[in-house]
Chains A and B, each alone.
Chain A
Amino acid sequence: SQKIEQNSEALNIQEGKTATLTCNYTNYSPAYLQWYRQDPGRGPVFLLLIRENEKEKRKERLKVTFDTTLKQSLFHITASQPADSATYLCALDEGSSASKIIFGSGTRLSIRP
Chain B
Amino acid sequence: EPEVTQTPSHQVTQMGQEVILRCVPISNHLYFYWYRQILGQKVEFLVSFYNNEISEKSEIFDDQFSVERPDGSNFTLKIRSTKLEDSAMYFCASSEFIGSGSLRGYFGPGTRLTVT
Nearest-neighbour CB distance to chain A for B111, whole angstroms, equals 10
* A99 & B102 in contact (Cβ 8 Å cutoff): no
User: Of A16-24, A38-46, A55-63, A67-75, which stretch is located at the interface?
Assistant: A38-46
Interface pair B43/A46, CB less than 8 Å apart: no
In angstroms, Cα B107 to Cα A42, docked, is 9
The majority secondary structure among interface residues of chain B is: strand
Question: Residues of A with Cβ closer than 8 Å to B?
Answer: 31-32, 34, 36, 38, 41-46, 49, 51, 89, 91, 93-95, 97-106
What CA separation (Å) do A45 and B56 show in the bound complex? 22
The bracket for how many chain B residues form the interface is: 20 to 34
Instruction: Please determine whether B42 and A44 come into contact, CB atoms closer than 8 angstroms.
Output: no
A101 touches B45 (CB 8 A): yes
Q: Decide yes or no: A95 and B106 within 8 Å by CB, A43-B91, A101-B33, A103-B43 being known contacts.
A: no
- A94: chain B residues at CB < 8 Å are 45
Is there a chain A Cβ closer than 8 Å to B100's Cβ? yes
Are B100 and A51 touching (Cβ within 8 A)? yes
User: B105 to A44, Cβ gap below 8 A?
Assistant: yes
In the complex where A31-B101, A42-B110, A46-B104 touch, is A97 in contact with B42 (Cβ < 8 A)? no
Across the interface, do B101 and A98 meet the contact criterion of CB distance under 8 Å?
yes
